[in-house]
Structure formats: C-alpha cells, structure tokens
Amino acid sequence: MNDNTTAARPPVAGFWVAFRFWLKLGFISFGGPAGQIAIMHTELVERRRWISERRFLHALNYCMLLPGPEAQQLATYIGWLMHRTWGGLIAGALFVLPSLFILVALSWVYLAHGQQPLVAGLFYGLKPAVTALVVHAAYRIGSRALKNRWLWGIAAAAFLAIFALDAPFPLIVLGAAFIGHVGGRHAPQVFALGGGHGAAKPGYGPALIDDDTPTPAHARFSRSRLARVLAIGTGLWAAAMAGLVLTHGLSGALTQMGWFFTKAALLTFGGAYAVLPYVYQGAVEQHQWLTGAQMIDGLALGETTPGPLIMVVAFVGFVGGWTQQLFGPDAAFLAGAVAACVVTFFTFLPSFIFILAGGPVIESTHGQLKFTAPLTAITAAVVGVILNLAVFFAWHVLWPRGFAGQFDWLSALIALGAGIALFRFKLAVLPLLAVCAGLGFKLALLGLIPAR
C-alpha cells in the first residue's frame, strides 16, 4: 500500500477512460450491493485512486440514505463528481443496462421453458440459496452497523414493527431517522459510526478527488441549477407517464406499472432486500402480475446477473407484460421486453434526480454528524427489515404449500449447506449459486423434487 507522503498523484482520468471503466463495471458488478460497493472501492479508491476513501464514504452515506439502489447511485455520484452531468448519466446507465438485457433474455427462457423438469430443477436449487444469501446479507450489514446495544435495539424494533405489526417501511425509516437525529445531538458517541461503514483508512496515496480537493464548480450548490434539474427530471417522468396514459389508458397494465414502480422508487429505502417486500405486496398480491413463487425465482435470476439486485423489477415487468398479453398472444416477448424497459425507467429515474439534484448539497456537508447520525440509525433499522425478508423467503421455500403443507427437507438441507458455505467458508455468490443450481438439476434428473 502506498504512503500518502511519497506516492504520486494518479494521471487525470478523461471522460472516455471513465466510460470504459463504467462499461466494464456494468458487466462485473456481481455480489449484490455489498459486493458492488467493494468492487468500486477496490477499483476507484485503492487501485486507480480517482477518489479518496473519505470522499467515497461520504458519497456512499448519502446514497444509503436515499430510496433506491445505493450501489448504482454511488456510481452515478462519482461519475457526476468527475465528469459533470453526462459523467453521472453514463455511469448510472451503464451500471443498469447490461443487467436489463441479460434479465430480459433469462426471463424469456424462464417463461418459455421454465416448466420443463430440468429447468425447474435449477430453480429448485437456487431458491434455498437465495434464502441463505438474504440471511447472510442481514449478518454482513449488521456486523458493520450494530456496534452498540442502542443500535441493536433499533434493529430489533424495526424487525418487530414490520414482522408483527406490518408497519410500512417508510414509517420505519422515518422513525429511525428521527431517533438518529435526536441521538446525534444528545448521545453523539452512539451514532458517530459513519453509517455502519467504519472510518476511512488512509494510506492508498493521493487521489484525483482527495480529502482536501476543492469542490469543482459544477458540484457547488445553486438554486437555479437545483430548479433546472428538478424541472427536467419531473418533466421526463410526466412525459413518459402521459405517453402511457394516451396509449394504454389510466388502468392499462403499463401505466399501472409506471405508477407503482415510481412509488416503489420514492417510498422504499435500504436497497433491494428492503424494497422486495413492498414490491411483492404490490406486484403479487395487489396487481397479480406474477405469483409469489415466480417472485422468488426472479430474485434467484437477479442474484445470478450483474447490476443492482433491484433489477428484479425488470423480471416482474417482463412476466407481467408476458402474462397480460399486452400486444396480443403472438407478441408475448415484445410485451415482456417493453414492460421490463418501462419498469426499469420508472424505477431508476428518481435515482438520477436524487444524485444530480442533491449532490451539490452533500458536497458541502463533509464530516457533519447531524447528517450521518440519522443514517447510522436507518442502517440499523434496515438490518431488522432484511431479517424479516429472510423469514419471508424461508417460509415460502421451506413450506411451499403453507404451514399446513409438508416441510421441504431437501430445500432445508440445501439452504443449510449454502449458509455454511457463506458463513464458514466465505464462498462467493456465483460459485454458490452454480453449486446449488447443479444440485437442483441433479435432483430433477433423479426425480426427487417434491411437487409444489
């Protein structure tokens, strides 16, 4: 590791150099939010030194506070900080587009051939692995965020609120933020944890955007710029929604998808694992665009592709467009692909607005506890919500016909093995999913998969 006092500052990274990196990142960003953030930290902070660790963590803390996928928002933020608005748009879009194209193809395979026994076997093995991954995500975030008994208490209260009381997730986030705001003033030592990501570790060498680098002109706050960004962002949303209303009507499936996923983008915090219960409630129970079993299958597909896990919404859109036969029975693929694109647009548009509008404000708040303390409390609450999601998945995977039905011992054994591989042997996500899918395939060959 280089010494800060002797290492030379890295060469300036031009727009097209950054473009190639963001394109590469879109294809290698596996491992969920934690894995994607780790890749960006390794590449941008340690290896390329485009941004210092403190500036990286400061941007990450803001992205964690926002609704939406924090890894994609972090890429957008850094791209914007380096190369203005176009840099942010390119970084954020390339983080998503490879995953969208891959998921459209996999969703077609799933719907066209998913009933074949061997394909069903692959998903049978993936589902318990996904359950183990969600449990591991709760542990991974909790081990960083829950540094004292007060934060443990917030996590436990969030779990009970959503599990036992069915409290809305936005209400839980607001409650946690209020506790963090008050606690930051009266017990700063409890909440001064940088959002659960620890303190910055100096030693990588000087960065292009270093701790003491002045804020560039485009990143300074301006009321006129804020108004312009908000006007363009809301104008794009309104134009897209008006187009759907004119072509499909207010009650059309695409219009309802646009409206629902706009709400999901604005009202859900804590990344993909936290948003999934809300998406399940709306897409499965309210609109019935897909079934609960298909939702879990979609998450399994999302885990196997690069990009943010929230891209499972593209699967939801594809299945909804396909099953609703939006363009007739002979154009099922086209309907699914269009619905996936519509859902992706409305899910990610708010993220770009949040970064481009709020970035200049955040650039003026380095190291201020009044901004980081609410984030620390929110991060603790998210741990409880993710644990609730793990319970939700375990119930659907281990008791596929409900508690009155038979317990699925084979799924339980696969989930247990996946958990041991994650916790004890630190197995990476893709090898784990490959092994579990292979087990499901083998069980299907042997005819051992129970009927669902």
Task: Yes or no: say if 335 and 195 are a contact pair by the CB < 8 Å rule.
Answer: no
d(CA 360, CA 305): 32
Per-residue pLDDT at 197 exceeds 50: no
User: What is the mean predicted confidence (pLDDT) over 185-211?
Assistant: 68
Could you report the per-residue pLDDT of 228-266, keeping only the tens digit for each?
999 999 999 999 999 999 999 999 999 999 999 999 888
Q: Is residue 211 part of a domain?
A: no
Average pLDDT along the chain: 85
Domain assignment of residue 39, yes or no = no
Residue 289 falls inside a structural domain: yes
pLDDT digits (tens, 9 = 90+) for 327-380: 988 899 999 999 999 999 999 999 999 999 999 988 876 555 566 688 788 878
194 pLDDT higher than 80: no
Please tell me which residue, 158 or 8, carries the higher pLDDT value: 158
Asked whether residue 137 carries a pLDDT value surpassing 80, the answer given is: no
Give the model's pLDDT for residue 142.
Answer: 80
> Who wins on pLDDT, 228 or 267?
228
User: Which residue would you say has higher pLDDT here, 19 or 110?
Assistant: 19
User: Given CA atoms 348, 172, 297, 431 in this order, what sign does their dihedral have?
Assistant: positive
**397 belongs to a structural domain:** yes
83-92, 166-175, 417-426: least confident range: 166-175
Does 210 map to a domain? no
pLDDT band at 153 (very low <50, low <70, confident <90, very high): very high
In a domain, 116, yes or no: yes
How many other CB atoms are found less than 10 A from the CB of residue 369?
15
Domain count, the chain: 1
For 209, list phi and psi in degrees, rounded to 5: -110, 95
- Does 128 or 193 have the greater pLDDT score? 128
Domain-embedded: residue 207: no
**Res. 99: pLDDT tops 80:** yes
Identify the CA nearest to 92 among candidates 114, 123, 110, 66. 66
pLDDT of residue 258: 96
Residue 424 in this model has a pLDDT that exceeds 80: yes
The answer to whether 39 and 29 are in contact (CB under 8 A) is: yes
**Assigned domain for 388 exists:** yes
Q: Can you list the pairs that 42-47 forms with residues at least 24 positions away whose Cβ atoms lie under 8 Å?
A: 44/78, 45/204, 45/207, 46/204
Per-residue model confidence (pLDDT) at position 247: 94
What is the share, in percent, of the chain residues with pLDDT greater than 70? 90
Range(s) of the domain holding residue 303: 99-197+222-445
